[in-house]
Chain A
């Protein structure tokens, strides 16, 4: 049935237009705009004209310097110490503020430092908060990707059995995925709440009152791990379903053949199940990595980057900069950096998990 309409090229383009327009307006154009803005001083709303600034935004974000402080010495060269015996150093700001001898340190602040003999080596960053965000994000990804994938695989193996009522378990494990991440974040804020929160209560009850209640989200040492735990819990069901789909593509006769050969459970997993899940594993690792880099809602709802920047992450920084500080060009630069990192990691993962023939 070839009517005039189905043969007309114009009609085809006309029908595709709404879809193409939406994709262009909300995905393609913003993607390229982010690249363009990141090279300018564009602000969210500003009377001044936009100017091209080259890579200044990237320099402001990524600028790093290493500087070695030598101790203050007395007249005869001995190291000066304060009342408590600690070595005295010149103040760092004398080098970073308007010091024409050290232009490379101008405007930078201390990120971290270490002691080497009498000297103190300081790593300085143009944007210490962004550097914290980079480190926190990588920490989050490195922790979440293997743990979430592993737990999801474990659950998938458990529910991939023919047992009465197994669908109940499938549903339970999948439920957190269906709930909005904002709602989940609010719920876990209650769970983690200091003093009388659910987690503190349970731990106290399990340890017969020995456990000291903590402020899980209010302490720099536990805030990010708490968010990691909650994120794994929320996402694990989704990846379980993908693993399950992978498991079910493995032919049951392969298991029977292994059974006849006398393969035990671990050997069956090692020689039959795991090789059969190869492609699924690549997919899951890439998906989890990307999702983990995009971490935002949990941070926004639960900690807003605090305490003391211990939960600052990429996307949260991009949003804060772009919209709260109205620095769209800075936010765009962060987005572009994130894009390049995720792209690079995906390519590396694909290379490492490629089919070896």
Chain B
């Protein structure tokens, strides 16, 4: 088992910079998830850790050794691919034992290690089948089995569940979580699915355009996003953003208002929130609830979606700005109905002023 340390990691293809200086510290036994929209560089970063991509700049350490120039096979890593990458002409047994066959291990050693991996993954009955006779979930299990047999210091997962259907994805997610607990190995996991990130990770790294946006535990990211992008990216439905004027700011609290928002005091701990002028207010749809009178936001219901356990309502404010509210109950709203909304003011998020494009980009990335 080993720590992984990324220090000023950079990657360029010709004149195109993909990773622009990334520092991440992954502790021994930690489950770290890289998330971000497509093209953010998360897969490239993982492939650099694996040794499948050259590192243009910076230092990569695994278990205290700089591995920039060390070939993939000697880094003590194992990788599970989105496309499974299991060899179609070999049986499951041969696939799982592939690394051992390559290194010339004895048959007894192979049998023992394959049996062990098969027991952990509960796939003893599949060992003599060929990949073409397996379902997607079973194939991914074989790929994970091949990784386990290597007894790596670090497991790398590149969107391992993206090719599976929703039900199987849930099963395999739980499976991978269990595997992490039982092997207690360092795992680095890339996904664009924030549910996977939130449920599996000890630590999430949010990436965008080759930069780290924030590193933290899932709840840190959810409750204290450092910037607008992380706030919009984490959580579904996405956070609502509204432009507001700062009335006053004292310490970590600011009074804000706008034509759409009645004046209230919001926490303003982020360093880049100005003392006066404009700012961007973020409110999670889950924090909003309708009130009979008063309330901070006022508008008309345009659409309501009843999902049984929750009701998502789309509200048009006075000037036509749309916001979402998600209520943890089944409630009937009629389109056009007037509605007043309030929320726990301590849950408001105040960011430096952002353009409408930046707000939309943050919301649509999730």
Binding site for B on A (CB under 8 A): 251, 253-254, 256-264, 267, 271-272, 275-276, 278, 357
Contact B102 A257, beta carbon cutoff 8 Å: no
Give 20 A-B pairs besides A258-B102, A261-B150 with Cβ atoms closer than 8 angstroms: A251-B85, A253-B85, A256-B81, A257-B79, A257-B85, A257-B87, A259-B51, A259-B52, A259-B71, A260-B50, A260-B52, A260-B77, A260-B78, A260-B79, A261-B98, A261-B99, A262-B73, A263-B73, A271-B87, A271-B90
Contact B102 A272, beta carbon cutoff 8 Å: no
Is B83 interfacial (CB-CB < 8 Å)? yes
Binding site for A on B (CB under 8 A): 50-52, 71-74, 77-79, 81, 83, 85-90, 98-99, 101-103, 130, 146, 150
For B85, list chain A residues within 8 Å (CB): 251, 253-254, 256-257
Contact A260 B51, beta carbon cutoff 8 Å: yes
CB distance from A256 to the nearest CB of B (A): 5
Contact A260 B87, beta carbon cutoff 8 Å: no
Q: A258 to B72, alpha carbons, bound, how many Å?
A: 10
Q: A11 to B195, alpha carbons, bound, how many Å?
A: 59
Residue of B nearest to A268 (CB): B102
CB distance from B79 to the nearest CB of A (A): 5
Q: A74 to B227, alpha carbons, bound, how many Å?
A: 118
Q: Which of A256, A262, A275, A278 contacts B87 (CB 8 A)?
A: A275
Contact B73 A261, beta carbon cutoff 8 Å: yes
Contact A259 B73, beta carbon cutoff 8 Å: yes
CB distance from A279 to the nearest CB of B (A): 11
* A-B contacts, 12 listed (Cβ < 8 Å): A256-B79, A257-B79, A257-B86, A259-B52, A260-B73, A260-B79, A261-B150, A262-B73, A262-B102, A263-B73, A271-B87, A275-B89
For A267, list chain B residues within 8 Å (CB): 102
Q: Which of A261, A263, A272, A275 has the most CB of B within 10 A?
A: A261
Residue of B nearest to A274 (CB): B89
Q: A257 to B150, alpha carbons, bound, how many Å?
A: 12
Q: A259 to B47, alpha carbons, bound, how many Å?
A: 12
Residue of A nearest to B103 (CB): A262
Q: Which of B50, B73, B74 has the most CB of A within 10 A?
A: B73
Q: A275 to B131, alpha carbons, bound, how many Å?
A: 14
Q: Which of A251, A254, A262, A357 contacts B99 (CB 8 A)?
A: A262
Q: Which of B72, B88, B90, B103 contacts A259 (CB 8 A)?
A: B72
For B150, list chain A residues within 8 Å (CB): 261
Q: Which of B50, B52, B74, B102 contacts A263 (CB 8 A)?
A: B102
Contact A253 B102, beta carbon cutoff 8 Å: no
Residue of B nearest to A250 (CB): B88
Contact A262 B130, beta carbon cutoff 8 Å: no
Residue of A nearest to B77 (CB): A260
Q: A271 to B150, alpha carbons, bound, how many Å?
A: 18
Q: Which of A254, A260, A278 contacts B72 (CB 8 A)?
A: A260
Q: A326 to B349, alpha carbons, bound, how many Å?
A: 98
Q: A261 to B72, alpha carbons, bound, how many Å?
A: 8
